[in-house]
Structure 1
Amino acid sequence: MENFIVVLTENRHLGLLAVPYLVENMEETPSLSLNEKVDTSNPDKYDYSFTKTELDILKVLNKLNDKHLFNIYSKDKTIKLFYNNLDEKKLTDIIRPHIEKYMALCFDLLAGAPNIPVYFKDAKYSNLYKSDRINIYKEIAEPVFYFTLSEDGITYSLKIKIKDENLTLTYKKPLVICHEPCALLVKNVLYRFKDTDSKKFIPFFEKSEVNIQPRSVPTYLETFVSNAIKSHHVVHEGFDIIEDKTKPKAILSVEQNISQIPVLALKFKYAQKEYLANSASNIALQLNENEGKYTFIKYKRDIDWENNIVDFIEDHGLIKESGANFIPNNQNDSNAVKELIDWINKNYDILSNEGITIKQGNLDNNYFLGNFSCEFTTNKSKDWFDLQMRVVVGDFEIPFLKIRKYIIAGRNEYVLPNGEVFLIPEEWFSNYADILTFAEEKGGSIKLNSMYYNLLKTEIPTYNHTDFKSTLEGKDNKVPQGLQASLRPYQLQGFKWMNYLHNNNFGGILADDMGLGKTLQTITLLLKIYEESQLEDTEIEQIQQLNLFETSNLEGFNISGIPTSLIVMPTSLIHNWLNEFKKFAPSLKIYIYSGSKRLKSRELGKIIRHYHVVLSSYGVVRNDIEYLKNFHFHYAILDESQYIKNPNSKIYDAIMQLNCNKKMVLTGTPIENSLSDLWAQMNFVNEGLLGNLTFFKRQYIAPIEKSNSEEHEDKLQKLIEPFVLRRTKEKVAKELPPVTEQVMYCDMTPEQKKIYESEKSGIRNELLKTFEINGLEKSTFLALQGLTRLRQIANHPVFVKSDYKGESGKFNMIVDNLENIVNEKHKVLIFSSFVKDLDLLEKELNKRKIKYSKLTGSTTNRQEVVSAFENHKDCKVFLISLKAGGVGLNLVSADYVFLLNPWWNPAAESQAINRAHRIGQKQNVFVYRFISTETIEEKIMKLQEHKSKLADTFINSNNPFKNMNETQIKELFS
């Protein structure tokens, strides 16, 4: 009787293969009679009834037969020539990966069919024996990596987790059946692995552990250990692995694809890491080092959330172009930029509400993205209509006469004062072009002859995309005296807005981005309310979780006039709110109504009336609403109010039963899925404003979400605008004055260039020798030293040659520009990564009698130095080393920034610029980058401009050679 078997056997051309056979089982002999090798391309010719699994195995193994491989990989005339001409590299790099891919599929099938025998035939023997049968372990084996970090380096070992046991490989003579994905044969059992290659196992065939020297620890952690943590189970000691559950953010970046067509690249940002939407890894890692202690921050990508973002932007008019790139569904290449920017601006608020950030990449122009408005009004005067058009784009107002010329001429690109290009919406042309064409300029105003009255018959819509901003001033908007914080301008604006709603008995939705201080703005409002009701002093603990037996402690304490307020939030935020109250408004008394021991009785009212604010959770309010609805609160405030977005939920029903004077909600995402989310929250704060839910669905949700009706969207926006305050971090940043950046290219002096070229030649020759003798890894330190030396010469040769008497082209240009700026009464910050740079400038400033401040790592009176620069008008120059002054300084008296040398990480430059360009800065800021031409500095700049792979190395690391190959390093020194 014939049986179907699979034999692992050595092919003299291709290496180890899985081959199907039909065999006859001879019970009286230890060997098997291989009747016939099965022709995988034609199993029907055999007088054997193959099972479905056997046929599936033959279909997979057909991908490994001679004919199939010949057709795919050979241009030779015959299979014999194909094998004769097959070189080792092609076999290893191309053909074996193909073979092992289908070998792995075959093993997967065999693991689920233990009745199909599998044998391993040793190449030394001609016969196949029954004792050669092997078992395929049914489950995917899991490698477990053990890393121990100590002063002596890293000790690394590996075991295989099998059920509840760990299998070691050492001295068991494992055999690699497949390299990737790896399959190992250990004592007649074949183990399969996913996402693991054999290189990780082979070192442990002969030894139980691998030792990594201390000098290689950072690189090893960054590469091998990092990859192991991403894909496998890791047992670690001596370093930490922390899972960060920070809520990710979505970014749409305006960039150009490989065909130079503008697209929106979708990226997801987890903490500080950004990933393209189509990147494969589900785990992201960030390695941090602090005083020799290493910590891996592990981010698990939220694939469901990412898919929802993709669905969201596709629902709003984007289609996938390729990879992570999207374009508007009506985009054509001839007008691609306009249609792309148009889509962004039309959907800007929707994207912001969804938490999607817009950024600009490598377009020819820097386009304006954000909110804009156009107000068009007419006044009848005898035979004329006086026309007024007020156009506001971001922080800029465009003069009527200028915008009129653009609309008449059909020009849609208007350059704003900050250099951004504003694309005039197509609707403005269709609505206003005829009117403005027939209008005349008379005495500085625009008039339309009354004969053209027909052009004005149709109501002219206004396009208002600006947030509501309360401009009321006076005593009612003064910050309460007891507030232990200084409000930023946008926070003050938010408080005034909330106070305006409070005074007019309106509810509101504060929908600021996370991190902008919604909690602080709310505390400020509550403190003002209770402060005006004359807060009483008390010796009672501010924060207590009371029960029935503690009520006697409250005798004699009473808050007069205004009832207690209630803030409802997710349970995890209660202690955060508690700490914020203690920090910013310690005079307010806070009661926590939470936990299993909370008081559920009408007696609760006797307790909470002695407190200003009660903190509770959505779950508690839902469960205890029968008690809570009997109490009268002053304010009911919901934090993370998207919790009530479902109007059919029990939480929503409970919240609506709260009895209070006023309402406010806080959320960063007022609309998560549908406009019904907005209705639920708005109906809580201003019940009836948007009608009942049936009316709202018919009047707004259907036309806006299904038909994309801009008319209905505008009507809804006008309804809710006074009651919703939404600020993103991008909008807050736009309140700052513009930054103008310029690269100052400096020619080296002849003597400087001679020294530079001589040094470069010597470094290059030394590197070539080192590469040849020691290889790449041991040569990068020398390359880094050489690179630093060339950077110093590009600044001034005296840094490396103390006897140098010549000049420096860059130094001369710096001094010339510096003198002009000082003479014009400006203040300037000068940053350098080399303290020697600052020392040289210091001598020049002393010689020219220019007053200055200086801050380096050796400065001990840091605050005095900063104050001297900020508070003395005659102190015009501040010399700052990058290490000492990159962060933690507020230097808004300066309006010029000099960056004397390029740094590998642009974030350092950004931090330096932000010393002057920050909240409080009233002047335009000018940034000069000084670059010596035909030097290493210029090469780095060009690499960064082109965003090449090499530039990424410079951007992301202080060691630019970390991920560079030998050819790239040589090119840098050419």
Structure 2
Amino acid sequence: MENFIIVITENRHLGLLALPYLVENNENSPSLSLNEKVDTQKPEKYDYQFSDFELELLKILHKLSDKHLFSIYSKDKTIKLFYDNLDKKKLTDIIRPHIEKYMSQCFRFLSSHQQIPVYFKDAKYSNLYKSDIIEVSDILAEPVFYFNLNDEGISYSLKVKLGDDDISLTHKNPMVICHNPCVLLIKNKLYQFDHTDSKKFIPFFSKSEIKIQARSVPSYMETFVTNAIKSHKVVNKGFDIVEDKTKPVAVLSIEQNISQQPVLALKFRYASKEYLANSKSNIAVQLNQNENEFSFTKYKRDIEWENSIIKLIKELGLAEESGANFHPKTNNGQRANTQQVIEWTNQNNIILSENKIEIKQGTLENNYFVGEFSCKLKTTKKNDWFDLQMVIKIGEFEIPFIKFRKYIISGKNEFKLPNDEIFLIPEEWFTQYADLLMFAEEKGDKVRLNSMYYNLLDNNQNFNHKEFTSIAEGKDNNVPEGLNAELRPYQLQGFKWMNYLHNNNFGGILADDMGLGKTLQTITLLLKIYQENKLKTEEAREIQQLNLFEASNLEGFNDSGIPTSLIVMPTSLIHNWLNEFQKFAPKLKIYIYSGAKRLKSKEIGKILRHYHVVLSSYGIVRNDIEFLRHYHFHYTILDESQYIKNPNSKIYEAIMQINCSKKIVLTGTPIENSLSDLWAQMNFVNQGLLGNLNFFKRHYLAPIEKSNSEEHEEKLQKLIEPFVLRRTKEKVAKELPPLTEQVLYCDMTPEQKKFYDAEKSGIRNELLKTFENAGIEKSTFLALQGLTKLRQIANHPIFVDPEYEGKSGKFNMIINNLESIVNEKHKVLIFSSFVKDLDLIEKSLVKRKIKYSKLTGSTSNRQDVVDAFEKQDDCSVFLISLKAGGVGLNLISADYVFLLNPWWNPAAEAQAINRAHRIGQTQNVFVYRFISTETIEEKIMRLQEHKSKLADTFINSNNPFKNMDEAQIKELFS
């Protein structure tokens, strides 16, 4: 019958090993028959039924197998080569410690499972004798040192204590099975030791006592004896060992690690001796020497208390680095710097002090302030300003807030205190006050902030943000009498928001989606202002140029005592605004400052002052600013304010010269190309809010557009939030009928695809040459030309080559869908970026005798063509160029929208869709986007989502190459 045993034997390559064997016990023989060594990886292949204990042991012994050692310690091809090339140093320093670790585990396991026999087999003999069985002690042995100090020196001996028995090692021929932790084989009994290596035992194998001469006693007491007292039981004579009960103290020392990085080193001080938190011994020992007299103070470390300190500092945000070193965790996952280490200690100073944890500075270059500090900001409102009063107390010093301004703005965090300590300005001060101080002004020893930056005071407990910004549900927000409309809830909110800006002398951007009634909300505000300020008493007014008016017509003109307001818009919207005023607020008198016969004079104000509202266009204002700037308007309101997005344009320059008290702009697309669009419009309504253009580019535009900085995005959003109101149709106009959008992919005809591929290849080759010779700046112009050309071919090659006689896949699909829709008595809006596209469809409509309207940039009777489509049932199709008809049109008779070609800015397409899907629409609206497959149009669609992210982030581009690098442009034409 087979038995499972463990055999300790010598391996000629690796030294002593514990190996598993299956053996047969012949009762009539003094030896055992070694059948085979057990494969620790595949015990299931044997007939023998291994117990759970034995299987567990095999898992441990597998770590000692040839295969395992070969897999982790060798790069040789075979185990034989591994052993042939094994050098002694690698064996001693690396492999044997691994072997002895698992040998020790094996013996610990065997001591608790005595049913598994263990034998020692001498490598010189081929047989394994029954008499070689080994007893594995079931308790750990303990070394006991006996020291005797006298005038001649110090002598010491060592005995092994096993339970109540003392065992001498001398002349017992012990065998070292494992060196660390030590395992000794003495006369067929295996002794195991904890935290003790064999070097302490070996000298006593041959001698019973070791003597140290008197001259070497001091160093010996400091090293060997101190360690012996710390780690083992000691019987002492000639010196004292005293146990101290002093309560320990925890110390966090600010130091540098070996990589010169700041750390908090945790130490525990027992009496006057400090020990690093990761020191292994549970006993701390201090040597005391007075001439030739020695004594030791022994401190039993309070491990439970020490662990509670480690747990506490981890809960306070420290991460364990290595051993006793800790550092504060950071939000970005990067290593904490010196400032963050100091900040952590200051932020947690009180709780550390309460738990008797000392902070001290070790190996840092500067002497930093560590202690309590406070910072309290108080704001006082004065007219259009806030006075900022802040008291900063750092230790014993009180320092005026104004002294920190230049440090916080410039990002310098080291402030020198009067005692030469360095106070590290907390990172949260930069977060909390940097923007505030950047926009504040110094007046003597005070700091003041324009009230339009009130949102930056959010974190100040002395500032009641809610009270300052509340829109009261009182008389001041009542809808004015005489408004011929019932405002929807979101329109009422928009009116109240504008009224709040009005009362606080702020400007704003109303950036609602197209079709939500920005015009009506603005008219409501103007009606309220002029009605409620109507003069209550008869006042003689000097009326000049009476020849301009019939006396009977003066009744109802502006007698409010408030100057006229100016609304500037694209020329095409003037009549739309006039109609809206006449419809919703007929009591307001409107003057149209437009047309060739307008009065061009500095005296124009003498006419304008009699009206409530003046309507004009961007072109007229640009041309006549020399006349208009002499009159002080009450409001200047810009509709489609993206017209002033370019701060270097003449329109922007002219608009900024308008003299007025208050400003509002209206737009569905405040950002088209870049954040500089937003800056231009915001700088008009609240000049200086975002700093000058260079400042804005440096602090916001570059970090956001180039580095995708979320921190700068949040800062910019916070600045503009009170002055921008943006609502989308999906959120507020829930009564609108469903909008269904579908992409219709059109395969090019064979002749069209051949034409397209040839042109694309030529453009790409030319572009690559230009990149190589002229760089990216000159290449973008060529790329834009090529892009336009490929877009036109994707629609119909005839736009590029009038001699082209083939067909277009997209054009065929457009006409087929158009015929079906018209036959079903629906109306459709057809938008294209190319007028040639519309001309081609127009020819097809004429041929098919389908009645249509057409609106492009050259259309002079704009209102007539709109009325024809809206009012004539048989006018089924409206051809519109995207540039001429993307805004200012209400075409709710249409329930289909065709978008013939994609463009970079999805907002432009959304504007087109909003001509039909807007307030008043009762029918479901269907939008078809026509895309030619395997063309640049598909790539434009993929880029649209990425391109619009910026606009969506900040309220909602027409230069596609503005932020594209060379690789991206090449990919576009691949």
TM range (shorter): 0.3 to 0.5
| TM norm structure 1 | 0.44
Q: Please tell me whether Structure 1 or Structure 2 has the larger radius of gyration of its CA atoms.
A: 2
